[in-house]
Structure 1
Amino acid sequence: MMRFGSSLKKSAGLGLLTILLLGLVAGCGGGTKSAEQTPAAGESANSSANSTEPAKGGTFVYGRPAAVNSFDLHNQITANNAFAIDKVFESLVTFDSEGNIVDWLAESHKISEDGLTYTFVLRDGLKFSNGNAVTAEDAVFSLQRHLEVGGPLAISAKVDAVKAQDDRTLVITLKEPYTPFISELSNFSNGIIPKDFGGVSEEEFFKKPVGTGPFVVDNWDPAGDVTFVKNPHYWQEGKPYIDKLVYKLIQDDSQAINQLKAGEVNAIESLALQNANEIKQGPGTKVLTNGGWVTEQLFFNTLDEHFSDVHVRRALALAIDRAGLTNALTFGYAKPANSLLPTAIPYNANDTIQPLNFDVTAAKEELAKSAFPNGFSTKLLVASGNSTRAQEAQIIQAAGKEIGINIEIESIELATFRERFFAYDFSAMLNSGQADSPDANSIIAFQTDPEGFSKSYWTHYTNDEVTKLLHEGQKTPDGDGRAAVYSKLLQTLADEVPYIPLYYPDILKGVGSSVEGLTVLPNGSLRFEEVRIQK
């Protein structure tokens, strides 16, 4: 979760880091719903069926590849933490499995016609997990703390004031319109915590956090497992149905699959595309899937002597058969990408954009226009341990060779890989970008703002017109005008290719056949409120 797209920058969209920093590979434009993301070859849809009435109670064990090491919602971004934080803390609004914004802790919200005033009315009777009432003052404290901390998912809107009108009414005023604001408020980082941390220190609070979520932290090993118990004061009456939720650390993918097959865990978070059919066809297992907010990409460091040349980037884009690569590597669980934005995100322009489609002759002609008409040698940085990425690299290597670009694949362990691209110590790299919320700005800002935290996702791509369109899109109300802004911006990215969108992978979860009521969200997280285990 990278869930990279997400402000280690101040421009909102770091979903990028949630997946990126864990090295995972996963996956409304005018209203495209994830239900329309047809499950591949008949696997289960995004919410497990509820055909019979299973017994309530019990313990659900979820295998995950990385431990939870912090519950500080304002200072975290990676999936290992984010998808635990969202079980304890909840926001005023959230998104459903189709990416639609829905009221959550707020029973209603209203946005003024000028886009400057946001009014939220909290649900009546809301309580924290310790039994204390939730008030608008708690929401004020939470959002102000986020504004002060900033953090990787900083609030990008220019906030003028956050005030409690009464115990249940919160009013946020902006200095200028910022259309993505309501969407960004659905991020886990905008969860509501007790005012003044409930009277304890920050350090003490986040060791034993108190929130409104369906679960409460019971036992926690920052280098191992987390055990949650159901929140007895949860506002959704009767939920969650299970008594306990265990996040079990399983760092080896093969071990995770074996434990799922053996029934030692009820589900696993990290399911590689190549293992999906095995789990789908297993006698005691199934696959839950959803269209995601992820785009797998080939990134160029535009500070590099070769990839600063737009003709070189265009040549390589033309040399890569994205459709062939997608078909070969994703087993029907992904779609070729034309646009930077996944099809589950509004204004993606995936059907109207004119990409640089596979054409070797045109690729050679484009390279001839560059400063390196006779080709050159370069390196492609890849995090080790990911077989899909390793195969991607080999396909790209072969495509480059076809037009005279000799690519050496440099495979290194994940921690060093992160250090290298954070330091711009690469020529090209394979990674994925992910949105944290269902708004185009979530990815676009992270990948096009040269002044943002990531400097255009560590490509340092700079185009004044793109930057202008970025800010215009943030202020333009939803509708045809905003669509036109993003269409022009995305076409420019397709023409100048500071990164090549390769494919949009689905989100896949391996699940035991006895599990019902589990919902896969498009950011890669899960909803466990309605989970039941068939006896």
Structure 2
Amino acid sequence: MMSNVYPEKRNAAGHGATRRGGRAESCRGFSLCLLAVLLLLLAACAGEEEPTTDALPEPTVAAAPTADLPIPPDSDLLVIATDAPLPPFADFDAFGNVVGFNNAVVERIASRAGIEYEFVVTPSDGVLESIASGSARDFDAVMSALLIPDTPPPGIAFTDPYLEVGQVPLVLVDEREIGSAADIRPGMTVGVLADSAGQDAAEALGIAESDLFAAYDKPSQLVQALIDEVVDVVLLDSYIADYFVASFPEQMRIAGGEGATAWIDRRAYGIAVAADDTELLNTLNDALAGLREEGVLNELTVTWLTAESDPAAAVDPGESRVGTPATELFIGVVGQFSDMDPASLTIDFISWEIKTNTMSGLYRFNPDNELEPLLAAALPSVSEDKLEYTIPLRTGLRFPNGSEFTADDVKWSLNRAAGLGNFLVNTYLKDSNADNFADEDAVQVLDPATVKIILKEPTGYFPVILAAPPFFPISRDCYSDAGDPGSTCGGIGPYTIVNWALNDRMRLRANPDWPGEPKPAFENITVKFFGDAPAMRRSLTEFRSVDLAWTGLPFADFMELTAQDGDGDGQPDYVGWQGPHTFKSYIIFEQSAEPWDKERVRQAAALAVDREALAAIFGQARLPLYSPVPDTIPGHTTTMPARDLEQARALLRAEGYTEQEKLIFTLWFVNDGRYSASEEAYAQAIKAQLEETGVFQVELAGAGWDEVRLQISQCGLPAYLLGWPSPGQPTTYLDASSWTDFFVTNTDRVFCSNYESEQMTELVAEARATVEEGPRLELYGRIQTLWAEELPTLPLTQESRRAVSLPTIDGVRVDALGMMHYEWLTKAGE
């Protein structure tokens, strides 16, 4: 046995049945030889009392069969004698069925060999003699917790082991003094599980009575003590040690070599059969070999023979102690998220980026910002009224749960998102009763590989919308109809989700069925969530436990790290990466009241600002912006004028303002760090530039975001400085209109700018209804030109997202929404 801790009882296996008694009256007991083996085994069982020579007591269970009837011979039925209860190897469920590790193993054997099986619980006397007795045998096999002896009893053969275990020394991966158990010396603290074979091994090494000996109740506690350096070395069952090393290869290793070479002792468990029944022996051994090769035996061992269903989940592994493996990638982000449902109403960079890398839409933007079909087979056909989009789908695709991808999944996913209130879906899909929820028939299945989507109004850029997470198809066999924030089902993306430890990390695995290009370069990627930027920086620079520091890295760290050359070779120690500009900073004027109801006053402000000087306040973090659309977004057109103080003064004088009769106003700004730590200096610079006209006189008012937002909602601010999108959030779709429409359609409620323009309204409506990209981009240019005249907002500066990586990383590609595409990432050898 392994230890004194046992798993919870499991449901009975489907193949097996349980009977009491035997096939014939002569079935009475094991041989003395087997009894001696069992006694030795039971004495070593962790947490068990010392056994006696009496037969094991009968358990009291509900509805246990009591008939002692012979079982007719059946060549397709494997009848196995066992004694129970002997947890965790064998126990009873509430219906008297044998459950436990042995049953789980036999269930897999039977399934692989194509046979049925039945456990028969019988007194221990005479069982081996029964199967060794030739044609009169009552059972085909014996399976208890049988150690395979060096010399089997006469007439008995044992299968290859279904469980082999030995005690091994587990140490931190960077430990240099302990190469094997022989290196454990006085002064080292040794940890074991209480009342376990590990304690026996410690005693054999002469350390169990030492003050430096420590015992723990659970494997996770023992391993945590090793990680926390409370103990120097751990003696643990090999299969548990293997499990933890596989889970945390950056933190621990087994000292002493690979496999059994590290074992301090050895125990092998097998199934006893008649020595002359070579056909059965070969059948069992063939099945065991296959299960061993597929890792099934290891999985069952960890599942059944530890007290914790997932021991690794209870361990905080801390930082990697050896950097990162060359074949895996670790990405660090500051922050965390708790919702992996694509229909979620929450939008943030971290969740949308991970969804983008573990799911896909019918279309996607590649890192070059080109729209291309992905789960769709081609671009859609659009009806004459521009309301119906008919989309052919790729065939032969499957979700990670194995279900086939069809048009039904698209309809179910979009109807589900609409029903859960996702605004992006409900904004665009047909809503005949105007209840702000898309109609059930807004998505129609024409055949398994064709779907039709009907819109509320013509939207020429609708295929772009289909590339956003709320439109990602998911499997109804894996997600609930209600919101499913904790799901790890994912969709059809370049990676699938292996596990997700909230606030700690998410581990991803390459999806071989993803239809996109390029195929992922890494089998595994881990995204680590940090509570603050300094912790992420230490992981990159001190531990090297992340390869790439991404979301949340301050610009000052970006500049400092990418300037370092510690070895003096002329090459930076870290590589900086920069994506397209996605954030813009701007001023909004309240245009329903003086002085901002005068177009020439707004234009004078636009002519008075020096965008290059404003950008310089942020070092190289920001660049000047001469359009409401950032310059890396498709459709951007430079339309804002260069600085011209004389022209600004002339416009102000035309409205009656002079150096003697100044235009006095208050400029509000957010001073709580929402946008940057330099907002006050930024506002001071804007004030100084405007006052260089000699006509503007600016008072500054700083407040936290909550106060500013309240004042905006009450139309209480005549002029204020803001940023877009909100910190930590991307825009919702990749089209120039995403940076413009919001500011001309929410003027009387969200921004309280009260900007009104019939010409702008007509241009926006025409652009939205235009399906062809070329004409639509031309309309976007006209919108930006009109923007420079009417100034719904006054654009000032723009900023991109940045990352810093180790010099081994390449292929960092960020699209114009600010999302990093993991499938492009590569890593060179050290």
Bin for the TM-score computed over the shorter chain:
0.7 to 0.9
Q: Report what 1:139 is aligned to.
A: 410
The alignment covers a number of residue pairs equal to 470
**Are the aligned partners of 2:488 and 2:500 in contact in 1 as well (CA < 8 Å)?**
no
Counterpart-to-counterpart distance in 2, 1:459 and 1:157: 25
Q: Report what 1:225 is aligned to.
A: 504
**Are the aligned partners of 1:291 and 1:506 in contact in 2 as well (CA < 8 Å)?**
yes
**Are the aligned partners of 1:90 and 1:105 in contact in 2 as well (CA < 8 Å)?**
yes
**Are the aligned partners of 2:381 and 2:391 in contact in 1 as well (CA < 8 Å)?**
no
Counterpart-to-counterpart distance in 2, 1:451 and 1:241: 47
Matches within 5 A, 1:258-297: 258-262=538-542, 263-266=544-547, 267-282=549-564, 283-297=572-586
Matches within 5 A, 1:408-447: 408-412=700-704, 421=712, 424=715, 426=717, 427-433=719-725, 435-447=731-743
Q: CA deviation at 1:336?
A: 2.6
Q: Report what 2:453 is aligned to.
A: 172
Q: Report what 1:407 is aligned to.
A: 699
Aligned match of 1:395 in 685, 696, 720? 685
**Are the aligned partners of 1:99 and 1:344 in contact in 2 as well (CA < 8 Å)?**
no
Counterpart-to-counterpart distance in 2, 1:496 and 1:447: 12
Of the structure 1 ranges 161-170 and 114-123, higher mean CA displacement relative to structure 2 is found in 114-123
Counterpart-to-counterpart distance in 2, 1:153 and 1:371: 46
**Are the aligned partners of 1:261 and 1:284 in contact in 2 as well (CA < 8 Å)?**
no
User: Judging changes above 3 Å, is the alpha-carbon distance between structure 1 residues 111 and 405 closer, same or farther for their aligned structure 2 residues?
Assistant: farther
**Which amino acid is the alignment partner of residue 193 of structure 1?**
I
**Are the aligned partners of 1:56 and 1:241 in contact in 2 as well (CA < 8 Å)?**
no
Counterpart-to-counterpart distance in 2, 1:69 and 1:417: 28
User: Judging changes above 3 Å, is the alpha-carbon distance between structure 1 residues 425 and 193 closer, same or farther for their aligned structure 2 residues?
Assistant: farther
Q: CA deviation at 1:471?
A: 0.8
Q: Report what 1:337 is aligned to.
A: 625
**Which amino acid is the alignment partner of residue 603 of structure 2?**
R
User: Judging changes above 3 Å, is the alpha-carbon distance between structure 1 residues 149 and 219 closer, same or farther for their aligned structure 2 residues?
Assistant: closer
Q: Report what 1:202 is aligned to.
A: 482
Q: Deviations over 1:123-164 (max 9, x none)?
A: 333222222222211111122233444534345435473222
Counterpart-to-counterpart distance in 2, 1:463 and 1:149: 35
Counterpart-to-counterpart distance in 2, 1:176 and 1:268: 38
Q: Report what 2:524 is aligned to.
A: 243
**Are the aligned partners of 1:179 and 1:475 in contact in 2 as well (CA < 8 Å)?**
yes
**Which amino acid is the alignment partner of residue 480 of structure 2?**
V
Q: What is the DSSP-based 3-state SS (H/G/I as helix, E as strand, rest coil) of the residue aligned with 2:740?
A: helix
Q: CA deviation at 1:67?
A: 1.9
Q: Report what 1:35 is aligned to.
A: none
Q: What is the DSSP-based 3-state SS (H/G/I as helix, E as strand, rest coil) of the residue aligned with 2:802?
A: strand
**Which amino acid is the alignment partner of residue 745 of structure 2?**
D
Counterpart-to-counterpart distance in 1, 2:395 and 2:326: 26
User: Judging changes above 3 Å, is the alpha-carbon distance between structure 1 residues 458 and 122 closer, same or farther for their aligned structure 2 residues?
Assistant: farther
Counterpart-to-counterpart distance in 2, 1:481 and 1:166: 33
Q: Report what 1:20 is aligned to.
A: none
Q: Report what 1:81 is aligned to.
A: 351
Counterpart-to-counterpart distance in 2, 1:300 and 1:247: 42
**Which amino acid is the alignment partner of residue 390 of structure 2?**
T
Q: Deviations over 1:316-348 (max 9, x none)?
A: 2222111332345342x6543222112333332
Q: CA deviation at 1:59?
A: 4.7
Q: CA deviation at 1:505?
A: 2.7
Counterpart-to-counterpart distance in 2, 1:220 and 1:298: 41
**Are the aligned partners of 2:666 and 2:699 in contact in 1 as well (CA < 8 Å)?**
yes
Q: Report what 2:280 is aligned to.
A: none
Q: Deviations over 1:378-434 (max 9, x none)?
A: 13222433134343222112123333322314052x565555556655430231346
Counterpart-to-counterpart distance in 1, 2:711 and 2:396: 49
Aligned match of 2:648 in 355, 363, 372? 363
Q: Report what 1:121 is aligned to.
A: 392
Q: What is the DSSP-based 3-state SS (H/G/I as helix, E as strand, rest coil) of the residue aligned with 2:724?
A: strand
Q: CA deviation at 1:199?
A: 6.2
Counterpart-to-counterpart distance in 1, 2:558 and 2:789: 34
**Are the aligned partners of 1:67 and 1:80 in contact in 2 as well (CA < 8 Å)?**
yes
Of the structure 1 ranges 89-98 and 303-312, higher mean CA displacement relative to structure 2 is found in 303-312
User: Judging changes above 3 Å, is the alpha-carbon distance between structure 1 residues 377 and 498 closer, same or farther for their aligned structure 2 residues?
Assistant: same
Counterpart-to-counterpart distance in 2, 1:396 and 1:482: 34
Question: Runs of 4+ in structure 1 displaced over 6 angstroms?
Answer: none
**Are the aligned partners of 2:667 and 2:701 in contact in 1 as well (CA < 8 Å)?**
yes
Q: CA deviation at 1:458?
A: 5.3
**Which amino acid is the alignment partner of residue 648 of structure 2?**
A
Q: Report what 2:336 is aligned to.
A: 67
| Structure 1 residue 107 corresponds to structure 2 residue 377 | yes
User: Judging changes above 3 Å, is the alpha-carbon distance between structure 1 residues 361 and 451 closer, same or farther for their aligned structure 2 residues?
Assistant: closer
Counterpart-to-counterpart distance in 2, 1:408 and 1:451: 23
Counterpart-to-counterpart distance in 2, 1:79 and 1:459: 28
Q: Identity across aligned pairs (percent)? A: 21
**Are the aligned partners of 1:287 and 1:508 in contact in 2 as well (CA < 8 Å)?**
yes
Q: CA deviation at 1:207?
A: 4.2
Q: What is the DSSP-based 3-state SS (H/G/I as helix, E as strand, rest coil) of the residue aligned with 1:519?
A: coil
Q: CA deviation at 1:240?
A: 6.0
Q: Report what 1:50 is aligned to.
A: none
Counterpart-to-counterpart distance in 2, 1:480 and 1:93: 19
User: Which structure 2 segments of 5+ residues have no match?
Assistant: 1-323, 431-440, 565-571
Matches within 5 A, 1:516-527: 516-527=810-821
**Are the aligned partners of 2:743 and 2:793 in contact in 1 as well (CA < 8 Å)?**
no
Of the structure 1 ranges 123-132 and 477-486, higher mean CA displacement relative to structure 2 is found in 477-486
User: Judging changes above 3 Å, is the alpha-carbon distance between structure 1 residues 98 and 330 closer, same or farther for their aligned structure 2 residues?
Assistant: farther
User: Judging changes above 3 Å, is the alpha-carbon distance between structure 1 residues 122 and 417 closer, same or farther for their aligned structure 2 residues?
Assistant: farther
**Which amino acid is the alignment partner of residue 341 of structure 1?**
V
Q: Deviations over 1:509-528 (max 9, x none)?
A: 22222223332222111111
Higher Rg of the two aligned structures: 2
Q: What is the DSSP-based 3-state SS (H/G/I as helix, E as strand, rest coil) of the residue aligned with 2:577?
A: strand
Q: Superposition RMSD on alpha carbons, in Å?
A: 3.2
**Are the aligned partners of 1:242 and 1:532 in contact in 2 as well (CA < 8 Å)?**
no
Q: CA deviation at 1:56?
A: 6.2
User: Judging changes above 3 Å, is the alpha-carbon distance between structure 1 residues 126 and 388 closer, same or farther for their aligned structure 2 residues?
Assistant: farther
Q: CA deviation at 1:205?
A: 5.8
Q: Report what 1:467 is aligned to.
A: 761
Q: CA deviation at 1:287?
A: 1.1
Counterpart-to-counterpart distance in 1, 2:702 and 2:680: 10
Q: Report what 1:46 is aligned to.
A: none
**Which amino acid is the alignment partner of residue 540 of structure 2?**
L
User: Judging changes above 3 Å, is the alpha-carbon distance between structure 1 residues 122 and 304 closer, same or farther for their aligned structure 2 residues?
Assistant: same
**Are the aligned partners of 2:767 and 2:779 in contact in 1 as well (CA < 8 Å)?**
yes
Q: What TM-score results when the alignment is normalised by the length of structure 2?
A: 0.52
Counterpart-to-counterpart distance in 1, 2:364 and 2:629: 20
Aligned match of 1:513 in 784, 797, 807? 807
**Which of structures 1 and 2 has the larger relative contact order (alpha carbons within 8 angstroms, sep 6+)?**
1
**Are the aligned partners of 1:105 and 1:123 in contact in 2 as well (CA < 8 Å)?**
yes
Counterpart-to-counterpart distance in 1, 2:708 and 2:745: 22
**Which amino acid is the alignment partner of residue 528 of structure 1?**
Y
